[in-house]
Amino acid sequence: MSILAKTPPMGWNSWNTFGNNISEDLVKGVADAFISRGLKDVGYEYIVIDDCWSEKQRDVNGRLVADKKKFPGGMKALADYIHSKGLKFGIYSCVGTHTCAGYPGSFDHEFTDAQTFAEWGVDYLKYDYCYKPRNVSGEDLYKRMALALRNSGRDIVLSACNWGNDDVKKWIRESGANLYRSTGDISDNWKSILDIFHSQLNEGWSGGIDCWNDMDMLVVGMGGSGENEMVMSTGCNTSEYMAHFSIWAMMNSALMIGCDIRNMTEQTAKILTNKDVIALNQDIEGRGPYCIRQWNNMENVFSLIKPLSGGDYAVAMINISDQKGEMSLQFYDIGLPNASGMGFDFYDCWKHESIGFFTERISLDIEPHECRVFRLKVAKR
């Protein structure tokens, strides 16, 4: 069995925008849009169907059955269509007796379901945490499904979604999962993005190769619209969506798109397909960032610093307040003293251009709710 998640998974999930309103035609349309909108070209590969895809009862053999109205062609044919595009197919289940929306869960059916998913051609399983029997530990249930998937005869990524409960960071890597949700559900508004960000700000150590810290799916481009009232909210402006994408990339979260990519705007496409920002998320070393706060505005303005392979560094300067704020980054705080005779060349990952060579420090004004992202190269003065 090979390493299935050398870098954080990238793809699309149906839940944020569509909730239970999913269908075969929708998923095929999304697969087509992966190609036509350039998502596959920049690394997105998983198309994941979330909850509400199955019938409400298993068949006479105890196997899950796709909803015949939503998916008349069946899951094997749908997986074949997705694979024909050079993409990968993901599906959803739950550790409990039922899924969060009340469909059959995988409790006590782990090996049967893993075999079913393998036969259908599934490449990715999002595994939720609803309706778990109280006398069974979540840790044991994730170990069960990991064991079943690893012996199904097919490579299937296990995305453990227990919302950060039960001290998950202490045992999730040992369970065999490839990524894990560390937070509650996201909503399409700036406050929700900040709440998740703050909850994970000092947790850079907790994810890594083949077991990534998943901060939930992206809301970039949703714009306050969609069919899922559990996620729909006020929406965000362009700067906030750029900051959201930048933070998730810097913190090595999975990049799972949640908007309707078939109809996304050009501005949304530019955010989601930014190769320079994606490269920071997909860096082969998978190192988490550390935080340096602005000394006179510590609660609002700070930088995330992330070592990259090959000697480069990534810096994201963030202003979460409603007022413009200065970020003064002293290079000795990231290991480059002035006595070294060295400095940094700053490449702007959103403007796709160098902003100059700096020694000792850089000081920039950051607009409200803005995140400026740079790739730094060390050079002699």
Separation between Cα atoms, residue 200 and residue 180, nearest integer Å: 13
Separation between Cα atoms, residue 126 and residue 137, nearest integer Å: 18
Q: Would you state the torsion angle of the CA atoms of residues 359, 363, 369, 374, taken in this order, to the nearest 10 degrees? A: -10
Active site residues: 128, 185
Measure Cα distances from 364 to 251, 301, 330 in Å: 22, 11, 12
Separation between Cα atoms, residue 344 and residue 334, nearest integer Å: 11
Structure-token pair, residue 163: 């919302």
